[in-house]
Amino acid sequence: MRKRTFIAILLFTGLALSSRWLVNQQLDPAETAQTTQSSAIDYDLENFIARNFDENGHLIFQMTAPRMSRNTYTGETYITSPRIQWPQKENAKKITLVANAGLISSNQDEIRLTGEVVVKSQVTDSQNEIQPTIILTEELIFYQKDRLLTSSVPVSITAPGIQLSSVGMSASLETDQISLQQQVKGRYETQ
């Protein structure tokens, strides 16, 4: 009797192990990667403000977001709905950038932004009217050291009286210049 019970236990254990192995073989690879990624998080912040300062202690930019997580293995930081603001300069210019998601590289030199990326630059003119310039794209990289925004996908730019579109662009936050790359189209409207 004991021999039969022992054989039954071995048989059930073998069936349980083989069924678990079969279930693991049928898991979706994306689901497995997500489980692996979430187990590799070494910190997770909610509703945070991060400020980046230069060597003289002056604020370069400020980033807020509802969530940020850092991957232990890659050193990359994932951001949900980032909002980046650059401080106002003497000419009362205000620049704000929002996106659905962001990824900060392991060396923290670049922030890759994706999903409904909007860059809005507002300048107050001599009549105290706000003159906005808006850049829309799906992907944008912010190089922190160079203070440069780049994109290699379709971009549209709207400013008072003008609409531009292109595939790819770069914008310098230092010189306030935008360079359009390919398939550039524009429309000027008098006011």
Domain carrying residue 175: 41-188
| Whole-number pLDDT of residue 43 | 79
* Residues 89 and 18 grouped into a single domain: no
* Residues 19 and 58 grouped into a single domain: no
* Residues 15 and 62 grouped into a single domain: no
The predicted-structure confidence for 76-86, as pLDDT tens digits, reads as follows 889 999 999 88
Q: Give the global pTM.
A: 0.70
The predicted-structure confidence for 97-129, as pLDDT tens digits, reads as follows 999 999 988 888 899 999 999 998 876 666 666
| Whole-number pLDDT of residue 136 | 93
| Whole-number pLDDT of residue 31 | 54
| Whole-number pLDDT of residue 102 | 92
Half-sphere exposure of 85 (CA within 13 A, CB side): 11
- For the chain, residues with pLDDT lower than 50 are 36-37
| Whole-number pLDDT of residue 6 | 64
* Residues 28 and 117 grouped into a single domain: no
| Whole-number pLDDT of residue 8 | 67
* Residues 153 and 163 grouped into a single domain: yes
Number of domains making up the chain:
2
> What is the C-alpha to C-alpha distance for residues 140 and 116, in angstroms, rounded to an integer?
10
| Whole-number pLDDT of residue 151 | 93
